[in-house]
Amino acid sequence: MAKLTGIDIFKLTPKKNCKECGCPTCMAFGMKVAQGALEISKCPHMAPEAIAKLSEASAPPMKTIKAGVGETEITLGGETVLYRHEKTFVNKTRYGVNVCSCMDDAVVEEVFAGIPKVDYERIGERMFAEVINVAYCEGTDAAKYVAMVERAAGMSRTLVLDVKDVEVAKAALAVCKAQKPILNGANAANYEAMNALATAEGVVLGVSAANIDELYDVTAKLEALGNKNLVLDATGASIKETYAIAVQMRRAAIKNSDRTFGYPSIVNLAKLAKGDLHLQTALASVFTLKYGSIVVMEKIDYSQALPLYGLRQNVFTDPQKPMKVAPGIYSINGGDENSVCLTTVDFALTYFVVSGELERSGVPCNLLISDAGGLSVLTAWAAGKLSSSSIAKYFAEFEIENKIKNRTLVIPGKVAVLKGDIEAKLPGWNIVVGPNEAVQLVKFLKDMNA
């Protein structure tokens, strides 16, 4: 069904203008629903027929699919735009590593051993290989494959079972179905049997095909069988073909409202660029931007992870929302009321860099974060959001005078110009100009404490 406009939706509302939906009028409600900013269910007076009609038309063009359980649960798809600057991308690309039944035992061991090695935090987000793709090569030892699946299932990662043989898939699911893996098994030859298996086990079914037309046909057939819990394997015979499939699928879903292609995707770079880790990393960045929901590589080490995860974090943040931490008093290294105070802005990157350096110093202290609109130090200062007045206001709001006995406040070196004004606004406080860069804080605090 074609996308409904605000006027179309308004015509279906009860036109009571009762404001119960939080909008001043039914017309405003219609506009908000059309923009995707409100759910139809927010109007309690909508007729059931109107809800049915609107639900279908206003459903997201791409399905949101969940795989895994508990801490390994991942959410894929649910995207509503082609370009991040239009609105925002909602569910980040998940990176995975690949093991295959055709690999030597030593290589499999090396891949498994490497999985936990990359695990770190950046701006409050855990970065690690979230997915293990366990592939079965036809004609190889099924028992070895099942043992690999069992081992992968014990690693607290979401599993993708890349297996087209129904019997082997059954055996693999028997040892890992509790983890709700993705069964990437359906193709033109076996989709009915794989669909029956995935439905019976309650797992997401992956669909792959020889080309994009066949992928569309098999997906349509699975939908006709009632299965809409799908992910589509966009991996083609070449990099060029894979890119074309990934982009055409997204365009068909978002621009043409063709829901048959409205599913998350898998891109397997271990197949596309076998043996070339640098190329896999470069391609992973491409498919992070161009619509890979799960991107599988042969392995992920720090040299791959640092640029990739940083890129992902940039792409999958909402450009309309500043990355902020909540204003407050953050105790570091057990800092208490007698510990020195440092202040900086609420921009998340600044907070995590500064707090990391403070932790590294080992000196107990309090980091005072004021509301600076999510801007960096100099930008906030230039915009008037970091000033002697904003700091004095923050001190009053958070009752710093009552909560902290220590009277030394370190301000960022880049706003040394504020020192005199802050001293005037906070009588009794010793205002110290700190270093320009966070990395200098360790030495600065140690010297101060000496």
Q: Where along the sequence are the contacts to ligand SF4 (CB under 6 A)? A: 13-14, 16-21, 23, 26, 29, 43, 45
How far, in Å, CA of 248 to CA of 265, rounded?
Answer: 12
To the nearest whole angstrom, how small is the minimum distance from the Cβ of residue 61 to ligand SF4?
24
- The nearer residue to ligand SF4, 21 or 266, going by C-beta atoms, is 21
To the nearest whole angstrom, how small is the minimum distance from the Cβ of residue 212 to ligand SF4?
41
- The nearer residue to ligand SF4, 12 or 129, going by C-beta atoms, is 12
To the nearest whole angstrom, how small is the minimum distance from the Cβ of residue 41 to ligand SF4?
11
Give the 3-state DSSP-derived string for the chain, with helices as H, strands as E and coil as C: CCCCCHHHHHHHCCCCCCCCCCCCCHHHHHHHHHHCCCCHHHCCCCCHHHHHHHHHHHCCCCCEEEECCHHHCEEEECCCCCCCCCCCCCCCCEEEEEEECCCCHHHHHHHHHHHHHCEEEECCEEEECCEEEEECCCCCCHHHHHHHHHHHHCCCCEEEEECCCHHHHHHHHHHHHHHCCEEEEECCCCHHHHHHHHHHHCCEEEECCCCHHHHHHHHHHHHHCCCCCEEEECCCCCHHHHHHHHHHHHHHHHCCCCHHHCCCEEEEHHHHCCCCHHHHHHHHHHHHHCCCCEEEECCCCHHHHHHHHHHHHHHCCCCCCCCECCCEEEEECCCCCCCEEEEECCEHHHHHHHHHHHHHHCCCEEEEECCCCCCCHHHHHHCCCCCHHHHHHHHHHCCHHHHCCCCEEEECHHHHHHHHHHHHHCCCCEEEECCCCHHHHHHHHHHHHC
* Crossing angle between the packed helical segments 302-315 and 277-289, to the nearest 10 degrees: 10
To the nearest whole angstrom, how small is the minimum distance from the Cβ of residue 46 to ligand SF4?
7
Two tokens, residue 375: 């801007």
- The nearer residue to ligand SF4, 38 or 134, going by C-beta atoms, is 38
How far, in Å, CA of 266 to CA of 96, rounded?
Answer: 10
To the nearest whole angstrom, how small is the minimum distance from the Cβ of residue 40 to ligand SF4?
9
Spatial contact of 130 and 74, defined as CB atoms under 8 Å apart: yes
- The nearer residue to ligand SF4, 28 or 311, going by C-beta atoms, is 28
- The nearer residue to ligand SF4, 16 or 126, going by C-beta atoms, is 16
To the nearest whole angstrom, how small is the minimum distance from the Cβ of residue 8 to ligand SF4?
14
To the nearest whole angstrom, how small is the minimum distance from the Cβ of residue 7 to ligand SF4?
14
To the nearest whole angstrom, how small is the minimum distance from the Cβ of residue 257 to ligand SF4?
24
Spatial contact of 133 and 235, defined as CB atoms under 8 Å apart: no
To the nearest whole angstrom, how small is the minimum distance from the Cβ of residue 345 to ligand SF4?
39
How far, in Å, CA of 263 to CA of 253, rounded?
Answer: 8
- The nearer residue to ligand SF4, 21 or 269, going by C-beta atoms, is 21
- The nearer residue to ligand SF4, 9 or 431, going by C-beta atoms, is 9
Two tokens, residue 364: 């107990």
To the nearest whole angstrom, how small is the minimum distance from the Cβ of residue 13 to ligand SF4?
5
- The nearer residue to ligand SF4, 49 or 104, going by C-beta atoms, is 49
- The nearer residue to ligand SF4, 27 or 137, going by C-beta atoms, is 27
- The nearer residue to ligand SF4, 41 or 314, going by C-beta atoms, is 41
- The nearer residue to ligand SF4, 26 or 182, going by C-beta atoms, is 26
To the nearest whole angstrom, how small is the minimum distance from the Cβ of residue 265 to ligand SF4?
36
